[in-house]
Amino acid sequence: MSRPLGVANEDAVTLTGAERKEVRRRSFRLLAALALPQKKLFIQTIVLVLFTNAARVLLPILIALAIDWTLPQVRQGNWAALGLTGGAYIVCANLAGVLLSWYIKCAARISQAMLLDLRQKVFRHTQRLSLEFHESYTSGRIISRQTSDLETLRELLDQGVSELASSCVFIVFTLISIFALDWRSGVVVCIAVLPVAVLFHWYQSRSEVLYRESRVVSARVISTFVETMTGIRAVKAFRRERANDANYADIAGQYRDNSVRSFNLFGVLQPGLVLIGNLTVAALLAYGGFRIIDGTLAVGVMVAILLAAKRVFQPMDEIAMFYSSLQSATAALEKVSGLLEEEPTVLEPRSPRSIDRVRGELVFQDAVFGYGDGPVVMDRFDLKIEAGQTVAVVGQTGAGKSTLAKLIARFYDLRSGSLELDAVPISELSNIELRRHVVMVTQEAFLFSGTVAENIALGRPGASLEEIHDAARAVGAHEFILDLPDGYDTDVNKRGGRVSAGQRQLISFARAFLADPAVLILDEATSSLDIPSERAVQHGLQTLLGNRTALIIAHRLSTVQIADRVLVVHDGKIVEDGSPEELIAAEGRFAALHQAWLDSLV
């Protein structure tokens, strides 16, 4: 497969062999990439675990020593021996405590560092991805990737990778001691590895599918939840509550069923391992028992072997737990790594060029555009917008006005042909530079949680309060902002901070004012404004637009009043182009629209 799968098969639970192999591989690759930078900490933690265990192993040895050696010494009047043994015990005890607490801190550092790393990776990457991707990949999915999928990694890390290491060390040492006592019994224990392996394999193949399903279902639970909460007004107005209840209960039920099935699977693995362990001990007992009767095995050795064999299986529980978390995290990372595999369709240039003194001249040449692999939307057009020109784009809904705007804002790239800003192809400008020069204000005026001032300052971080106020004043938003409970410091998410759609548009206009770009694109940015506000904005625009290039898309021709030039777009083509008065005189589409608009006014 030349192209990575990305999020293409995200909802699939059963995968083809090749697909499965690929998603597993990318998932492990991501896990390795996250773990690698923490190499030193991992080693440190494992060393700590080993020493903690060593200190603890010493404690019972010291007790044995106290009884076998110190006691006779004390009986002979050597009290120093007692002090020595007691002292050694206390030192070891405290050492074990200190090492344990150190180990916990180290393990937390690893786990938190990896989580932060992944959080940053996913967040940065989703921000980098093009709008095209975001239009099909829902917010609910991204949120679920960033919350519940990450949670599984956290569970894996909390399960203790280093404890796994100590478990393995423990098993190996105990096994060696069995071999040392009696190699034949050692072989018997080793044979028991076979059913253990079979059991693990069985668990792995079953749980993989279940955990994958779990990620799909959990994303659905989250998406449903988020969609309901973001659209709560419509939910209430159309009385969706009961239907939603049923739907959500159904999905949450699927999620529970899936969880229960994976619990049950683990519920076989865990006692299964215990059973294998116990049966191994029984087998050893039988094997050893007859050898005792033969006289080829000593009773003491036999007891030691049996106890050691029972102990070998104790850490299996932890290993099983870890393995289960690993399966769950792998399934989650399959999805996360798929998201990370997605490449933005709009790429940053390798060697970005810059514009020294931006003027704002835009030139399309032989431009062809279509969304994704879809049909051509705008076929072969040339367009030159002079620096400082104010251009109104009119046409029916779906005619391609917004497409033109999105191309200039470089939300999409042309399929062929070129688009240049001041003779530099915009695809060769770095994102930062492009955004400094070209800003687009859309109809949906999104406000982020935070104060009104912060929302305006998004246009130019670091702007002074004075500049923020000026921007608001310029679009006629100053007055209503002052009327809010805390003025510019009003939190838009707090009670009392709610602003209307029109006010939101004014705030986002102020944002654009503050950004002060060379090219300003307004895509239906005044649709929710009343006429006086629109007038204020237009007035502000005229001062702002002075020597700036502007592309204004509006259904209402009132905006055209301030335009130097009008483009009429129809079916992806620019069918009329000229000054407003020229077009009115030409009696084409624009003239008809203009007449209709005039009629609509009174």
What minimum distance in Å lies between the beta carbon of 379 and another protein? 19
What minimum distance in Å lies between the beta carbon of 476 and another protein? 9
Closest to another protein by CB, 131 or 380 = 131
Closest to another protein by CB, 131 or 368 = 131
Q: Which two tokens stand for residue 32?
A: 């390795």
Burial annotation 537-555 (CB, 10 A radius, 16+ → b, else e): bbebbeebbeebbbbbbbb
Q: Which two tokens stand for residue 274?
A: 């215990």
Closest to another protein by CB, 22 or 504 = 504
Closest to another protein by CB, 40 or 233 = 233
What minimum distance in Å lies between the beta carbon of 278 and another protein? 3
Closest to another protein by CB, 197 or 292 = 292
What minimum distance in Å lies between the beta carbon of 276 and another protein? 9
Closest to another protein by CB, 168 or 275 = 275
The 3-state DSSP class for residue 170 equals helix
Tell me phi and psi for residue 339, to 5 degrees. -65, -40
Closest to another protein by CB, 343 or 486 = 486
Chain CA centroid to CA 127, Å = 10
Q: What gap in Å lies between CA 258 and CA 252, rounded to an integer?
A: 10
Closest to another protein by CB, 340 or 529 = 529
What minimum distance in Å lies between the beta carbon of 477 and another protein? 9
Token match 């996250």: residue? 34
β-bridge pairing 424-425 and 519-523: unpaired
Closest to another protein by CB, 22 or 297 = 297
Token match 């709009």: residue? 346
What minimum distance in Å lies between the beta carbon of 306 and another protein? 5
What minimum distance in Å lies between the beta carbon of 415 and another protein? 20
Closest to another protein by CB, 22 or 137 = 137
Q: In what order do the strands lie in the sheet with 519-523?
A: 438-441, 519-523, 549-553, 390-394, 565-570, 573-578
The 3-state DSSP class for residue 556 equals coil
What minimum distance in Å lies between the beta carbon of 376 and another protein? 17
Q: Which secondary-structure segment (H or E) carries 274?
A: helix 241-294
The Cβ of residue 125 has, within 10 Å, a number of other Cβ atoms equal to: 16
Tell me phi and psi for residue 577, to 5 degrees. -155, 120
Q: How many residues does the chain have?
A: 602
Closest to another protein by CB, 264 or 416 = 264
Q: What gap in Å lies between CA 192 and CA 313, rounded to an integer?
A: 10
Q: What gap in Å lies between CA 11 and CA 216, rounded to an integer?
A: 6
- Cα–Cα nearest to 408, from 394, 429, 399: 429
What minimum distance in Å lies between the beta carbon of 273 and another protein? 9
Q: What is the CA radius of gyration of the chain?
A: 35
Are 271 and 148 within 8 A, CB to CB? no
Are 116 and 89 within 8 A, CB to CB? no
In one-letter notation, the amino acid at residue 268 is: V
What minimum distance in Å lies between the beta carbon of 117 and another protein? 10
β-bridge pairing 438-441 and 519-523: parallel
What minimum distance in Å lies between the beta carbon of 96 and another protein? 6
Q: In what order do the strands lie in the sheet with 424-425?
A: 376-385, 362-370, 416-421, 424-425
- Cα–Cα nearest to 43, from 162, 168, 169, 167: 162
Are 360 and 545 within 8 A, CB to CB? no
What minimum distance in Å lies between the beta carbon of 235 and another protein? 6
